[in-house]
Amino acid sequence: MNPQEIKKAQKTLQLPEETTPAEIKKQYHKLTKKHHPDQGNKNQKRMQEINQAYQTLQEYIQNYLINLNPQETKTTHQKHMESFTHDWMWTPGKKQKK
């Protein structure tokens, strides 16, 4: 996947250069709602462009694991287990020097 495809997809979805996966999804839903043929919009080509752009960005994120916000990609279990490592009660204390 070349950088021109990514930039074209970002432009099609009207996204800034730096964006999170959640923002991409939100913008995709906003545009599909607006341009969906069931809404009376007869421009099917625009809808196809939006779908293709979203698919391109999703593949880019999955293939290259580009995550601007790593917390978004963690599962609930991972977040829960991480909380133990940051909790003073569950981390080992430092040994005092004598």
pTM, 2 dp: 0.62
In a domain, 42, yes or no: yes
The structural domain count of the chain equals 1
In a domain, 41, yes or no: yes
Q: What is the pLDDT of residue 55?
A: 96
Locate 30 and state its tokens: 């906003």
Mean residue pLDDT of the chain comes to: 80
Q: What is the pLDDT of residue 12?
A: 96
**What's the full length of the chain, in residues?**
98
Q: Which domain holds residue 55?
A: 3-72
In a domain, 24, yes or no: yes
In a domain, 46, yes or no: yes
Q: Are the beta carbons of 50 and 28 closer than 8 angstroms?
A: yes
Q: What kind and span of H or E run contains 60? A: helix 44-64
In a domain, 79, yes or no: no
Q: What is the pLDDT of residue 71?
A: 60
CATH classification of the domain holding 52: 1.10.287.110
Q: Are the beta carbons of 43 and 90 closer than 8 angstroms?
A: no
In a domain, 80, yes or no: no
Residue 73 — very low, low, confident or very high, per pLDDT cuts 50/70/90? low
Task: Name the range with the highest mean pLDDT among 16-25, 65-74, 76-85.
Answer: 16-25
